[in-house]
A and B are shown apart, each in its own frame.
Chain A
């Protein structure tokens, strides 16, 4: 494959459902071998964008290319070279692990020998060796997602589309799932993954934020932080974070505090503003006025979640 050519190219993709615009001029490129994270709240248009890139949905406007081939014209050439895990479950619950994998393999035209070999690898990869005859519905969520990924890569696709693959999966299984993704990327597979989890987003080489159908940011995690979030974040550790948040919001409404994004972050508060360090004093004053102990305040590097939330406004 030509190294210059992006593995995935979206160009001004637009999708309207009636007079509702679900995707509004989305453009991005994914280079071969990258893990590209697609982030956005529910209903932002992530799934719709993926479906257009896969050719499952006709775009209202714009175009998409996969592996340098135009999706609209070359779906048949693209399909054998891509893998997809849809947002909903992509395996057959009533079939066993082996039956599912066999179906995937046969559908992609694997020979008996190839299928046997890949089946073994897939079972190893998913950690399901010895459980081939378990019905898929009897597997727990994390195992099922790993099996789904193994099935999606059984035919060795060059590009992999994963739509919220770890939604509702426990942290340990998510970790195992991401380990699988890393090893796939190391083998040169291009991965486009949508996720809700910010910690997962940090694992991606490139990210795109999408909101109400529009891209709000695109780049590496560092680039995004830099572009959207000039400067550090002020982290507060008050005794009662909830009460402190309310006091600060009231102070903002009363005009006693300059505008800033204040979010609950566990038992702490994050204050996001262009020059957050200047807010130390007014914050301390506002909290004391409300009879609350401000506690320690530190300037920290913003996390992606800070950036994400800031970009939502």
Chain B
């Protein structure tokens, strides 16, 4: 039995050596994507082009513009002469934000009953820069508002001690998006790699016409499954650790928790994805079909990795559905172990869910694939 499994696994590795570009593509492509995404999301958004239509042209309005520039979020792109040109540059996407200061801005600011206003227009089509811009504007305006209020109360703003919240962000102190996105990306790459290699396992032989040969050989269906699973496992796992090392080195994604626990749970997760891949593999007639199915399944799972939208922010129904998606639990576990040094005591519910889902998926897959092969 072991001899036959090994013979099959060895043959699979020979195919891999000849088709080296596929694992290489998965690894290099995955790493590149990881680097790009990590790099793009790890940097704060700065220097958004800002144009100002200043009807007031007072020292007060200049202070406002300077305050906005000083946030670092904006870079003054110039002054507009009228509303039409401002609208035009927004339409063309030349600028992300526009500030319109009314003619009586300084007067309203100085008057004890005045209501100074400014209009800010943000380019909501690019929602992430827009929300960043909004935060910066709010910060500036709140600060200004406090100063105005204190002045009107005839207090020295510098000597006033107000509510001073002590805000601390845990686990991701710099609120770096990279710490959130790269583990997601990493978990996803592991899923895609394992799914793809598993999905090609039998579909490839079927397409090439060698599956029948394999089936008349004295392999039991269990031996076929195990022999085919080993290479997919090795490739997926190798990929995972290489990429983990990379994000650790490049993006300072910490490895705070137990690597042993991570290893065991990653293995469990890989087995689950492998089982899914093998099912795709026996229902596909060609490699092409298998590939498309992997994309479909992968994309569905992708939604629940919290990569695009955090699962907690999803509609109730989808949140409920997420409980049945192994990738969701796996990413919670991965983030927990990497960023929070969480152990089984914290993660047990997700580990248990992964175990249960895994048991169901693996049992189904085992039966289904064996039946298809017999």
Contacts and interface: CB of A to CB of B under 8 A. Distances in A.
Interface size class of B (residues with CB under 8 A): 20 to 34
Q: What DSSP secondary structure best describes chain B's contact surface?
A: helix
A136 B220 CA distance: 26
Contacts of B4: 106-107, 109
Interface size class of A (residues with CB under 8 A): 20 to 34
A109 B212 CA distance: 19
Interface string A279-308: 000000000000000000000000000000
A99 B14 contact: yes
A162 B8 CA distance: 23
Interface in A71-91: 76, 79-80, 82, 84, 86-91
A312 interface: no
Given A99-B14, A103-B11, A107-B8, A91 B216 contact: no
Q: What DSSP secondary structure best describes chain A's contact surface?
A: loop
Nearest to A89: B209
A128 interface: no
Interface in A181-207: none
Pick from A55, A76, A90 the residue with the most CB of B within 10 Å: A90
Interface string B204-245: 000011101101111110000000000000000000000000
A89 B218 contact: no
Pick from B4, B213, B217 the residue with the most CB of A within 10 Å: B213
A124 interface: no
A265 interface: no
A84 B212 contact: yes
B15 A94 contact: yes
A109 B208 contact: no
A56 B19 contact: no
A103 B10 CA distance: 8
B371 to A, nearest CB: 11
A109 B210 contact: no
B279 to A, nearest CB: 20
B18 interface: yes
Contact of B210 (A76, A82, A91): A91
Nearest to B19: A94
Contacts of A56: 212, 215-216
Pick from A89, A90, A107 the residue with the most CB of B within 10 Å: A107
Contacts of A79: 216-218
B83 interface: no
9 contacts: A86-B213, A88-B208, A91-B213, A92-B11, A95-B11, A95-B14, A106-B3, A106-B10, A109-B3
